Amino acid sequence: MPTTLITGANRGLGLEFVRQYAEAGWRVLACCRDPRAATDLAALAGASGGRVTVHALDVEEPARIETLGRELAGEAIDLLLNNAGIYVREGRFGELDLAAWERSFRVNTLAPVRMAEVFLEQVARSERRQVVNVTSLMGSIGDNQSGGSYAYRSSKAALNMATACMALDLRPRRITCLLVHPGWVKTDMGGAQAPLEAPESVRGMRQVIDRATLEDTGKFFDYEGDVLPW
Ligand SMILES: NC(=O)c1ccc[n+]([C@@H]2O[C@H](COP(=O)([O-])OP(=O)(O)OC[C@H]3O[C@@H](n4cnc5c(N)ncnc54)[C@H](OP(=O)(O)O)[C@@H]3O)[C@@H](O)[C@H]2O)c1
Protein backbone atom coordinates (compact mmCIF):
# COMPACT_ATOMS: atom_id res chain seq x y z
CA MET A 1 0.00 0.00 0.00
CA PRO A 2 1.66 3.30 -1.06
CA THR A 3 2.00 6.19 1.39
CA THR A 4 1.61 9.91 0.79
CA LEU A 5 2.37 12.84 3.09
CA ILE A 6 0.15 15.86 2.34
CA THR A 7 0.56 19.38 3.74
CA GLY A 8 -2.41 21.75 4.23
CA ALA A 9 -4.67 18.70 4.46
CA ASN A 10 -7.50 20.23 6.50
CA ARG A 11 -9.42 22.08 3.76
CA GLY A 12 -9.56 22.90 0.07
CA LEU A 13 -7.48 20.84 -2.35
CA GLY A 14 -5.46 19.24 0.47
CA LEU A 15 -8.56 17.76 2.10
CA GLU A 16 -9.77 16.48 -1.28
CA PHE A 17 -6.36 14.87 -1.92
CA VAL A 18 -6.69 13.08 1.43
CA ARG A 19 -10.20 11.88 0.56
CA GLN A 20 -9.25 10.54 -2.86
CA TYR A 21 -5.95 8.89 -1.89
CA ALA A 22 -7.61 7.23 1.13
CA GLU A 23 -10.46 5.97 -1.08
CA ALA A 24 -7.86 4.58 -3.48
CA GLY A 25 -6.38 2.57 -0.60
CA TRP A 26 -3.29 4.67 0.15
CA ARG A 27 -1.93 5.39 3.61
CA VAL A 28 -2.14 9.14 4.15
CA LEU A 29 -0.01 11.16 6.58
CA ALA A 30 -2.26 14.21 6.65
CA CYS A 31 -0.59 17.36 7.99
CA CYS A 32 -2.33 20.52 9.14
CA ARG A 33 -1.58 23.48 11.36
CA ASP A 34 -4.24 22.81 13.99
CA PRO A 35 -5.52 19.22 14.21
CA ARG A 36 -8.04 20.14 16.94
CA ALA A 37 -9.84 22.53 14.58
CA ALA A 38 -9.60 20.17 11.58
CA THR A 39 -13.00 18.53 12.01
CA ASP A 40 -13.52 17.48 8.37
CA LEU A 41 -10.09 15.87 8.31
CA ALA A 42 -10.76 14.16 11.65
CA ALA A 43 -13.99 12.71 10.20
CA LEU A 44 -12.09 11.32 7.19
CA ALA A 45 -9.40 9.88 9.46
CA GLY A 46 -12.03 8.33 11.74
CA ALA A 47 -13.74 6.60 8.82
CA SER A 48 -10.49 5.39 7.22
CA GLY A 49 -9.78 2.37 9.40
CA GLY A 50 -6.41 3.81 10.40
CA ARG A 51 -5.19 4.55 6.87
CA VAL A 52 -5.34 8.33 7.47
CA THR A 53 -3.35 9.73 10.39
CA VAL A 54 -3.28 13.43 11.32
CA HIS A 55 -0.06 15.29 12.18
CA ALA A 56 0.39 18.86 13.40
CA LEU A 57 2.53 20.88 10.99
CA ASP A 58 2.81 24.60 10.42
CA VAL A 59 5.11 24.67 7.39
CA GLU A 60 6.25 28.18 8.30
CA GLU A 61 8.13 26.67 11.27
CA PRO A 62 11.32 24.94 10.07
CA ALA A 63 11.95 23.46 13.52
CA ARG A 64 8.55 21.75 13.44
CA ILE A 65 9.28 20.33 9.96
CA GLU A 66 12.47 18.83 11.38
CA THR A 67 10.68 17.40 14.44
CA LEU A 68 8.04 15.79 12.21
CA GLY A 69 10.83 14.39 10.06
CA ARG A 70 12.25 12.66 13.17
CA GLU A 71 8.79 11.48 14.29
CA LEU A 72 8.21 9.88 10.87
CA ALA A 73 11.81 8.68 10.42
CA GLY A 74 10.78 5.04 9.91
CA GLU A 75 8.30 5.72 7.09
CA ALA A 76 8.69 5.11 3.39
CA ILE A 77 6.91 8.02 1.65
CA ASP A 78 6.00 7.27 -1.97
CA LEU A 79 4.60 10.74 -2.63
CA LEU A 80 5.53 13.90 -0.75
CA LEU A 81 2.73 16.29 -1.71
CA ASN A 82 3.53 19.91 -0.85
CA ASN A 83 0.07 21.42 -1.16
CA ALA A 84 -0.11 24.08 1.61
CA GLY A 85 -0.05 27.58 0.19
CA ILE A 86 -1.20 31.14 0.83
CA TYR A 87 -2.38 34.01 -1.32
CA VAL A 88 -1.86 37.26 0.56
CA ARG A 89 -3.07 40.69 -0.49
CA GLU A 90 0.16 42.66 -0.37
CA GLY A 91 -1.23 45.93 -1.74
CA ARG A 92 -0.47 47.85 -4.90
CA PHE A 93 2.86 48.78 -6.40
CA GLY A 94 4.13 51.78 -4.40
CA GLU A 95 2.73 50.49 -1.12
CA LEU A 96 3.64 46.81 -1.16
CA ASP A 97 3.49 45.05 2.21
CA LEU A 98 6.96 43.51 2.39
CA ALA A 99 6.18 41.45 5.49
CA ALA A 100 3.28 39.78 3.66
CA TRP A 101 5.56 39.15 0.70
CA GLU A 102 8.22 37.54 2.94
CA ARG A 103 5.58 35.33 4.52
CA SER A 104 4.46 34.18 1.06
CA PHE A 105 8.03 33.12 0.34
CA ARG A 106 8.28 31.24 3.64
CA VAL A 107 5.09 29.25 3.01
CA ASN A 108 5.00 28.88 -0.78
CA THR A 109 8.71 28.56 -1.60
CA LEU A 110 10.99 27.80 1.35
CA ALA A 111 8.69 25.31 3.08
CA PRO A 112 8.24 22.87 0.14
CA VAL A 113 12.01 22.78 -0.41
CA ARG A 114 12.70 22.28 3.30
CA MET A 115 10.09 19.49 3.37
CA ALA A 116 11.89 17.76 0.52
CA GLU A 117 15.24 18.11 2.30
CA VAL A 118 13.93 16.78 5.60
CA PHE A 119 11.90 13.89 4.11
CA LEU A 120 14.45 12.97 1.43
CA GLU A 121 15.44 9.60 2.94
CA GLN A 122 11.81 8.55 3.52
CA VAL A 123 11.01 9.33 -0.14
CA ALA A 124 14.21 7.69 -1.39
CA ARG A 125 13.42 4.38 0.33
CA SER A 126 9.87 4.22 -1.11
CA GLU A 127 8.81 2.47 -4.32
CA ARG A 128 7.44 5.48 -6.22
CA ARG A 129 9.86 8.19 -5.04
CA GLN A 130 7.91 11.32 -6.00
CA VAL A 131 7.97 14.90 -4.72
CA VAL A 132 5.08 16.99 -6.05
CA ASN A 133 4.85 20.72 -5.45
CA VAL A 134 1.45 22.33 -6.00
CA THR A 135 2.21 25.55 -7.85
CA SER A 136 0.11 27.93 -9.93
CA LEU A 137 -0.10 29.20 -13.49
CA MET A 138 0.17 32.61 -11.76
CA GLY A 139 3.82 31.72 -11.16
CA SER A 140 4.43 31.45 -14.89
CA ILE A 141 6.42 34.44 -16.19
CA GLY A 142 5.57 33.51 -19.77
CA ASP A 143 1.84 33.52 -19.06
CA ASN A 144 1.72 36.76 -17.04
CA GLN A 145 -0.55 39.18 -18.92
CA SER A 146 -2.07 41.12 -16.04
CA GLY A 147 0.60 41.99 -13.44
CA GLY A 148 -0.20 42.49 -9.76
CA SER A 149 -0.18 39.73 -7.11
CA TYR A 150 3.57 40.27 -6.61
CA ALA A 151 3.88 38.07 -3.54
CA TYR A 152 1.92 35.10 -4.84
CA ARG A 153 3.27 35.19 -8.37
CA SER A 154 6.91 35.58 -7.36
CA SER A 155 6.75 32.98 -4.59
CA LYS A 156 5.30 30.40 -7.01
CA ALA A 157 7.78 31.37 -9.76
CA ALA A 158 10.58 30.82 -7.23
CA LEU A 159 9.02 27.48 -6.25
CA ASN A 160 9.07 26.53 -9.92
CA MET A 161 12.79 27.32 -10.19
CA ALA A 162 13.60 25.53 -6.93
CA THR A 163 11.72 22.45 -8.15
CA ALA A 164 13.64 22.52 -11.44
CA CYS A 165 16.87 22.54 -9.37
CA MET A 166 15.64 19.73 -7.13
CA ALA A 167 14.70 17.65 -10.17
CA LEU A 168 18.31 17.81 -11.39
CA ASP A 169 19.86 17.33 -7.95
CA LEU A 170 17.65 14.34 -7.03
CA ARG A 171 17.65 12.57 -10.40
CA PRO A 172 20.68 10.44 -9.46
CA ARG A 173 18.59 9.09 -6.56
CA ARG A 174 15.78 8.32 -9.03
CA ILE A 175 13.38 10.76 -7.34
CA THR A 176 10.81 12.39 -9.65
CA CYS A 177 10.03 16.05 -8.84
CA LEU A 178 6.94 17.60 -10.43
CA LEU A 179 5.07 20.89 -10.43
CA VAL A 180 1.29 20.74 -10.80
CA HIS A 181 -1.15 23.58 -11.35
CA PRO A 182 -4.63 22.63 -10.11
CA GLY A 183 -6.57 24.92 -12.48
CA TRP A 184 -8.77 27.67 -11.02
CA VAL A 185 -10.67 25.83 -8.33
CA LYS A 186 -13.55 26.66 -5.96
CA THR A 187 -11.82 26.69 -2.57
CA ASP A 188 -11.32 29.42 0.02
CA MET A 189 -8.36 30.56 -2.07
CA GLY A 190 -9.92 30.17 -5.53
CA GLY A 191 -13.26 31.73 -4.51
CA ALA A 192 -16.82 31.05 -5.60
CA GLN A 193 -16.28 32.31 -9.19
CA ALA A 194 -13.84 29.53 -10.01
CA PRO A 195 -15.03 27.20 -12.78
CA LEU A 196 -13.61 23.95 -11.38
CA GLU A 197 -14.70 21.85 -8.40
CA ALA A 198 -12.01 20.41 -6.12
CA PRO A 199 -12.85 16.71 -6.84
CA GLU A 200 -12.35 17.20 -10.61
CA SER A 201 -9.09 19.12 -10.16
CA VAL A 202 -7.69 16.56 -7.74
CA ARG A 203 -8.75 13.60 -9.94
CA GLY A 204 -6.83 15.24 -12.78
CA MET A 205 -3.73 15.99 -10.69
CA ARG A 206 -3.74 12.42 -9.33
CA GLN A 207 -3.74 11.05 -12.89
CA VAL A 208 -0.85 13.32 -13.86
CA ILE A 209 1.11 12.24 -10.76
CA ASP A 210 0.27 8.59 -11.26
CA ARG A 211 1.45 8.55 -14.89
CA ALA A 212 4.66 10.52 -14.28
CA THR A 213 7.98 8.70 -14.52
CA LEU A 214 11.57 9.82 -13.94
CA GLU A 215 11.55 11.01 -17.57
CA ASP A 216 9.05 13.71 -16.51
CA THR A 217 11.11 15.03 -13.63
CA GLY A 218 11.23 18.84 -13.50
CA LYS A 219 8.11 19.34 -15.65
CA PHE A 220 5.37 21.90 -14.96
CA PHE A 221 1.97 20.30 -15.65
CA ASP A 222 -1.60 21.45 -15.25
CA TYR A 223 -4.31 19.16 -13.86
CA GLU A 224 -5.14 17.96 -17.37
CA GLY A 225 -1.57 16.87 -18.10
CA ASP A 226 -0.66 19.76 -20.39
CA VAL A 227 2.87 21.17 -20.00
CA LEU A 228 2.75 24.87 -19.04
CA PRO A 229 5.13 27.68 -20.05
CA TRP A 230 7.71 28.81 -17.50
N1 LIG B 1 -7.72 27.19 -5.65
C2 LIG B 1 -7.10 27.58 -6.76
O3 LIG B 1 -7.74 28.07 -7.71
C4 LIG B 1 -5.62 27.38 -6.90
C5 LIG B 1 -5.04 27.72 -8.14
C6 LIG B 1 -3.67 27.54 -8.31
C7 LIG B 1 -2.91 27.01 -7.29
N8 LIG B 1 -3.49 26.71 -6.08
C9 LIG B 1 -2.61 26.15 -5.04
O10 LIG B 1 -3.18 24.97 -4.52
C11 LIG B 1 -2.77 24.77 -3.14
C12 LIG B 1 -4.00 24.55 -2.28
O13 LIG B 1 -4.83 25.70 -2.42
P14 LIG B 1 -6.37 25.74 -1.97
O15 LIG B 1 -7.11 26.35 -3.09
O16 LIG B 1 -6.78 24.42 -1.40
O17 LIG B 1 -6.23 26.85 -0.82
P18 LIG B 1 -7.02 27.04 0.55
O19 LIG B 1 -8.41 26.53 0.40
O20 LIG B 1 -6.79 28.44 0.95
O21 LIG B 1 -6.23 26.04 1.54
C22 LIG B 1 -4.89 26.33 1.84
C23 LIG B 1 -4.35 25.23 2.74
O24 LIG B 1 -2.98 25.53 3.04
C25 LIG B 1 -2.84 25.50 4.45
N26 LIG B 1 -1.78 26.38 4.95
C27 LIG B 1 -1.61 27.70 4.75
N28 LIG B 1 -0.54 28.15 5.45
C29 LIG B 1 -0.02 27.07 6.09
C30 LIG B 1 1.07 26.87 6.96
N31 LIG B 1 1.87 27.88 7.35
N32 LIG B 1 1.30 25.62 7.44
C33 LIG B 1 0.52 24.59 7.08
N34 LIG B 1 -0.55 24.71 6.28
C35 LIG B 1 -0.82 25.94 5.79
C36 LIG B 1 -4.19 25.94 4.99
O37 LIG B 1 -4.28 25.60 6.36
P38 LIG B 1 -5.13 26.54 7.43
O39 LIG B 1 -6.55 26.07 7.34
O40 LIG B 1 -4.47 26.22 8.73
O41 LIG B 1 -4.96 27.96 7.00
C42 LIG B 1 -5.10 25.14 4.07
O43 LIG B 1 -5.16 23.80 4.49
C44 LIG B 1 -1.97 26.03 -2.78
O45 LIG B 1 -0.59 25.76 -2.89
C46 LIG B 1 -2.40 27.04 -3.84
O47 LIG B 1 -1.43 28.04 -4.07
C48 LIG B 1 -4.81 26.87 -5.88
List, for residues 89-144, the tens digit of each pLDDT value: 999 999 999 999 999 999 999 999 999 999 999 999 999 999 999 999 999 999 99
Q: Provide the pLDDT confidence category of residue 42 given band limits of 50, 70 and 90.
A: very high
Is 105 near ligand 1, meaning CB less than 6 Å away?
no
Q: What's the rounded Cα separation, in Å, for the pair 35 and 38?
A: 5
- Check if the beta carbon of residue 13 is closer than 8 Å to that of residue 83: yes
pTM reported for the whole predicted model: 0.98
Domain 3-222 sits in CATH 3.40.50.720: yes
pLDDT tens-digit profile of 61-78? 999 999 999 999 999 999
CA-closest residue to ligand 1 atom 6 = 136
User: What is the side-by-side order of every strand in the sheet holding 220-222?
Assistant: 52-56, 27-32, 3-6, 79-82, 130-134, 176-181, 220-222
Among 6, 29, 33, which residue has the most ligand 1 atoms within 8 Å of its CB, making it the best to mutate?
33
Which residues does residue 28 pair with via DSSP β-bridges, in sequence order?
4, 52
